[in-house]
Amino acid sequence: MTLAGFLGAAYLFADSRGPAAAPAPVPAASPVTYHSDGLSDAYDGFRAEPLALPRRRGPGTVSLRVTGPAGPVTDFQRVHDKPVHMYVLRDDLSGYQHLHPEVVDGAWTAPVTVTDGGAYRVYLEFVPHGRPAGAEPTVLGVPFVIPGDTTMVPVPAPQAQARSGPYTVRRLDGTTDLTSGTHTALQFQVLRDGRPAALEPYLGAYAHLSNFEVRTQGLKHLHPIPTSATGDAPADGVLAFHAAFAERGDKRMFLQFRAGGTVHQVAFTIFTT
């Protein structure tokens, strides 16, 4: 591992801020709901068994068999147009990929391309049949390692905006710290040439936001707030998400949206006190 890699890895064990004063009491009226975060291969009676994982740089395959209380499971509720959402991330919070596996020989399988070495995790997110509408998903995770020299990427400091192609995405509250233990709405505005962008549906919504804890790489998919009663695209280009964070620290978020016939992705670092 290079010196830069060592320094990047070391970053994962410290917040982007120095020690903070004791946090204020959390109001009892705003409880935080915990759910599985993909840091274990088993949760809530389900287990992910890796049948194939990438072993080298370049194109590869991820194949995970999911077993439940009654045996292998190849069907789940369709959430955002898919029964299963798969994510790949390196432990320095880089290399994010959002994949959509299909069942092949009884296992959830997707092609994936890994361009650099390091320690990675693949996350599998699904909602079993029988759960009520809007229920939190089960998220399982399996680690894998790509050997060889690795160029680690330090987690960027919080920024108020990010770009993808001709689009600028602004966080409407700038780089304001959020407060853990409370519910809030994260808002982002998508602009093109300084004007609200024409957003298009992508996987049953106008955007998707995946949140990862920097120190643990735990995953929480944030739920979008409907833009209107009719389901039309937001005329002002503003996307809003429910957010509630249990712990203080850095979060790395990946926002995906579709505009101009193309899926775009931007990333933000957010700190909670």
pLDDT of the residue at 208: 94
As a whole number of angstroms, the distance between CA 165 and CA 197 comes to 12
In terms of DSSP bridges, do strands 208-213 and 249-259 run parallel, antiparallel, or are they unpaired? antiparallel
Q: Is residue 223 part of a domain?
A: yes
User: Residue 59: phi, psi to the nearest 5?
Assistant: -65, 145
- The 10s digit of each residue's pLDDT in 17-73 is 443 433 333 333 333 333 579 999 999 899 999 999 999 999 999 999 999 999 999
Question: Is there a single domain that holds both residue 96 and residue 173?
Answer: no
As a whole number of angstroms, the distance between CA 161 and CA 174 comes to 8
* pTM across the whole model: 0.85
pLDDT of the residue at 35: 54
Question: Is there a single domain that holds both residue 139 and residue 58?
Answer: yes
Q: What is the mean pLDDT of residues 95-117?
A: 97
Domain span at residue 228? 161-272
Q: In the numeric block, which tokens belong to residue 156?
A: 């960027």
Question: Is there a single domain that holds both residue 186 and residue 117?
Answer: no
Q: Is residue 181 part of a domain?
A: yes
Q: Mapping DSSP to helix (H, G, I), strand (E, B) and coil, where does residue 212 land?
A: strand
Which residue, 146, 176, 204, sits at the end of a domain?
146
Question: Is there a single domain that holds both residue 197 and residue 260?
Answer: yes
